[in-house]
Amino acid sequence: MAYMAKIGPSILSSNLACLGSECVRMMECGADYLHLDVMDGHFVPNLTFGHPMVECLRKSVGPDPFFDMHMMVSRPEQWVKPMSAAGANQYTFHLEATTNPGNLIKEIREAGMKVGLAIKPGTTVEELAPWANQIDMALVMTVEPGFGGQKFMDDMMPKVSWIRSQFPSLDIEVDGGVGPDTIHRCAEAGANMIVSGSAVIGNDDPRSVISLLRTVVSEAIQKRSLDR
């Protein structure tokens, strides 16, 4: 199978004073990777953390957990090398934040990281398409980036379906308002990398939520491969 269901909790909604142990807890609850939201107060109206925090986190959780860095920053070129040195595995930048995506993709690869390309709700898939063969993952935002706990935008699903139809083996991630109530829509549309913040972290039983999300996505992937 070309792509797999992977669940990546967004630690934005966790107790940030205990980030290390929260990340370990998520991995122990069955997370496939960790989605780390970097915000600069400029590209989005909120502020989180940068590479010094990622470096500490890497030391605290060890070499195994996969760090998907969701870079909600202006001038994403600036942080490629520092993030790689800090232990990031994937650098997911916003198409809206750069004038030269091709060069940035090259720099991320040269720094030894995988490449994710994110689009905000107002950005079309036609704008992403020219880069799709050069990236590892496309991130379709299902809320306006900046805050956890927002309402899922169902009208983003045609974008996911279109990318899946054009690039059948590409990893497609959805982020924002995704949880047990909305996962079926994402899975049917063809998303396979699922970011979930408040629905996982805010639940008393994160293990069950992660497992449910993975089951729904795995079943949709299986169905698609049988239908082909």
- Does residue 175 touch ligand DX5 according to CB under 6 A? yes
Question: Helix 19-28 and helix 51-61: axis angle, to 10°?
Answer: 50
Q: Tell me if 85 sits within 8 A of 51, measured CB to CB.
A: yes
φ, ψ of residue 211 to 5 degrees: the values are -65, -40
For residue 35, say whether it is annotated as part of any ligand binding site.
yes
Residue 90 to residue 169: CA distance in whole angstroms? 18
Q: 160 touches which of Zn ion, ligand DX5, none (CB within 5 to 8 A by kind)? A: none
How many of the chain's residues bind ligand DX5 (CB under 6 A)?
A: 22
For residue 32, say whether it is annotated as part of any ligand binding site.
no
Nearest alpha-carbon partner for 187 in 155, 161, 167: 161
For residue 204, say whether it is annotated as part of any ligand binding site.
no
Chain residue whose CB lies nearest ligand DX5: 197
- Does residue 76 touch ligand DX5 according to CB under 6 A? no
Which of 176, 182, 192, 220 lies at the binding interface for ligand DX5 (CB under 6 A)?
176
Active site residues: 37, 175
CB atoms within 10 A of CB 152: 20
- Does residue 173 touch Zn ion according to CB under 5 A? no
For residue 93, say whether it is annotated as part of any ligand binding site.
no
Q: Tell me if 22 sits within 8 A of 15, measured CB to CB.
A: yes
- Does residue 14 touch ligand DX5 according to CB under 6 A? no
**Residues whose CB falls within 8 Å of the CB of residue 20, separated by 6 or more in sequence, listed in order:** 56, 57, 60, 61
Which of 30, 82, 121, 146 lies at the binding interface for ligand DX5 (CB under 6 A)?
146
Rank residues 147 and 167 by Cβ distance to ligand DX5 and give the closer one. 147
- Does residue 40 touch Zn ion according to CB under 5 A? no
Which of 51, 70, 159, 185 lies at the binding interface for ligand DX5 (CB under 6 A)?
70
Rank residues 85 and 153 by Cβ distance to ligand DX5 and give the closer one. 153
From residue 52, give the alpha-carbon distance in Å to each of 64, 87, 97, 145, 171. 19, 10, 22, 22, 28
What is the x/- site pattern for ligand DX5, positions 125-144, by CB under 6 A?
------------------x-
Residue 146 to residue 207: CA distance in whole angstroms? 26
For residue 10, say whether it is annotated as part of any ligand binding site.
yes
- Does residue 198 touch ligand DX5 according to CB under 6 A? yes
Half-sphere exposure of 55 (CA within 13 A, CB side): 10
Q: What is the binding site for ligand DX5 (CB under 6 A)?
A: 10, 12-13, 35, 37, 70, 143, 145-150, 175-178, 195-199
